[in-house]
Each structure stands twice: as C-alpha cells, then as structure tokens.
Amino acid sequence: MEILAYGVQADEKPMLRTALDGRHGLRMLEEFLNRNTAPLAAGYEVVSTSVNAQLDAEVLRTLAAGGTRMIAQRSTGFNNIDLDVAAELELTVARVSYYSPYAVAEFAWTLAMAVNRRIIRAAHRTREFDFRLDGLMGRDIHGMTIGVVGTGKIGECFARIAHGFGTRLLGWDVAENPYCRDELGMTYTDLEALLAESDIVSLHVPLLPATYHLIDAKALDLMKPGALLINSSRGGLVDANALVETLRTGKLGGVGLDVYEEETGLFFFDRSVTGIADDTLARLMTIPNVLVTSHQAYFTSTAVGQIVETTVRNVEDYLAGRQSENTLVPAP
C-alpha cells in the first residue's frame, strides 16, 4: 500500500522514509492538505496530514470520494479536523497523542529568555558592530513568579525548568498535577489571580471552545505591568488584536509567540517576496519586544522522530483493525 503524506518538511522526509522502509510505499508532498490539494489523494487509502492541514467537511468528503479510508495526523492537536463529518463518512482518524514534552517546554523557555534579555535586538546590533547596551536590560528569572496555564506533560516540564531557576510557581488547570503541586511547590489558583501575580505567563492548554481567546482584552488587562506572555501551544488561545492594543500601551514587558491564530497559509511558507496581508501579524512583528517564530517548538529530532514512529504505528493499527489511545475516530 502507498501512503500520501501532505505538508512534509525537508528535515522530516528522511525520517518518514526510514520509518516506512520495507513496509509501505510513500509519496510525500510539501503542499498542505486543503480544498485545492485534496483531489491529489484520489486512490490513496491512507493519507497523512500535518497540524496546518484543512480537514473541514468539504475536504473530508473529497478524500472519501477518492477512496481514502484513514487519516493519520502527525500532531497532537486535531482542532483542524471535523471529527463528526469524518465519523459520518466512516473515515478512521488517528493522531499522535504523545511526543517529547521537553521539546515544547524548552522552546517556551527559549522564547521567554530571548524576550527577557533582548537577544534578538542584541544580535542584530552586534552583527552591525554596534556593541552598546542601551535598551538591552533584562531581569533575573530567579525570584520571579511564573504562571503556568495548563499543567499537563508540557506544562509540567516547563514548571520543572522554572523550579530550577528558583521561582515561585502558580498553576491553573481543570485538574491539579500532583507532581507540580507536591514536588515543585506549585500553588494552584484561579486564572485571574495567576495573571495578576505572574511575571511570566506561559500557555500550555489545548485549543477547545472553552479556551478560545482565553487570553483576551480582559485577561491582558489583569496581567502585571512588565510581565511576559509566552504562547507555544495554539494560536487561538490569544486574541491577537487585543494583544496588539495592549502592547501599544507599553504595559507588557514582552511577548513570545510560536503560534498565531491565523497562521494557516502563512507559517511553514516563504512569504519573504510576496509579503503578508495579515495586518495584525504584521503589526505584532514590528513591535520591538515581540518575538514571533513559525510553530517550531516541537521541531527537534527527538520529537519529530517520535511523531513519525507513532504515525506509522497508527497506520499499522488501522490495517490490523486495532484501536489505541491515538484513535480519534475508529474504523466502522
């Protein structure tokens, strides 16, 4: 059987080839799955997609009409898939429920440190032999209060690193993480108190209807003056327009974003020649204390290797008629 994989990054290609060698055929496309590219899947029983794929009702119906029976998403998030329509069409859907949480947690701290210590501005200056320190003053992380919004696997890893810096930890989640509470000394509180007391707020919750624009104008207004906001989870957690307006007031010390709510069609593409039409993102990227990266927090050899291996297992489970914790829509 030959698998069609959409949205494959250059560094991901050899890993997919190796994982599938001797098992199944593989066709890889750099293009992402959307309404325009869905017809390319005609004749492929199994299609593999990435987090920025568009899997709405129209795309799913096109896939089903072309003979696709299984979708193997190479990500943890699945808010881009209409699962109800997939079930209606009897399409099996699986995701990667787990990969290295250290990849994302470490990158979240990379953003926080870079914003706090003005690393991007400093690097640009020194490349032009400007070695002044004006405007580069940061703050010690040690002694800060760190707010961790979502204390699952990634949030726990982020908190472990924060604990190593010697910080006070605040947490918010629907359920308390015993390790964070008992071993790291995290105090669980309501979101309003966390925002008001934290010097750094880092987001590690999934994007659900209940968490959409969790950080809106009201939440931003609650944040401590000079605080840093870090989002390496899902773009829709933050109301980007409200964030721009808050940043214009000078209230926040800085923002690090690896995700953006309208990133589809932008992130993972080269727009250096054409530019972008998204005024909100363009405005964000012109603000000196904002650092935007292109959804790369997960992108380590360890994490991507685990994603690929799990995706292959998901395909094998489908072919054998098995379900696992990765199954979102089981075979009929």
* Catalytic residue list: 234, 263
Q: Could you give the CA distance from residue 203 to residue 107 in angstroms, rounded to a whole number?
A: 12
Q: Which amino acid is at 285?
A: M
What does DSSP assign to residue 143? T
Burial of 251 (0-12, 13-18, 19+ CB in 10 A): middle
Q: Rounded to an integer, what is the distance from CA 257 to the centroid of its chain?
A: 10
Structure-block tokens of residue 253: 């010390």
Neighbours of 284 (CB within 10 A): 20
Q: What share of the chain is helix, strand, coil (3-state, %, to 5)?
A: 40, 15, 45
H helices then E strands: how many in the chain? 12, 13
Structure-block tokens of residue 321: 């008629």
